Amino acid sequence: MQNIYLGSDHAGFEYKQKLIQLLREHEQDLGLSQIIDLGPETLTPDDDYPEYAFRVAEQVANAPAALGILICGNGQGVCLAANKVVGSRAVSAFSPLMAASTRTDDHANILCLPARFLSWAQIQEIVTTWLKAQPNPEIRHLRRLALVKKYETNRPRL
Q: How far is residue 137's CA from residue 133's CA, in Å, rounded to a whole number?
A: 12
Per DSSP, the three-state class of 139 is helix
Q: How far is residue 107's CA from residue 103's CA, in Å, rounded to a whole number?
A: 4
With contact defined as beta carbons under 8 Å apart, do 90 and 82 qualify?
Answer: yes
- pLDDT tens profile 98-121: 999 999 999 999 999 999 999 999
Count CA within 13 A, CB hemisphere, residue 33: 6
Give the list of residues 6+ apart from residue 151 with CB closer than 8 angstroms, or none: none
Domain count, the chain: 1
With contact defined as beta carbons under 8 Å apart, do 110 and 68 qualify?
Answer: yes
Residue 158's pLDDT is 65
Determine phi and psi for 141, rounding to 5 degrees: -70, -40
Structural domain span for residue 36: 2-154
Predicted TM-score (pTM) of the model is 0.96
31-35 CB contacts, 8 Å cutoff, 24+ apart: 31/1, 31/2, 31/131, 32/1, 32/2, 32/3, 32/4, 32/131, 33/1, 33/2, 33/3, 34/3, 34/4, 35/3, 35/4, 35/6
Residue 155's pLDDT is 77
pLDDT mean over 54-64? 98
Residue 156, pLDDT above cutoff 80? no
Count CA within 13 A, CB hemisphere, residue 65: 7
**151 or 52: which leads in pLDDT:** 52
Residue 125's pLDDT is 99
pLDDT mean over 36-57? 97
Q: What is the CATH number of the domain that holds 108?
A: 3.40.1400.10
Give the list of residues 6+ apart from residue 26 with CB closer than 8 angstroms, or none: 128
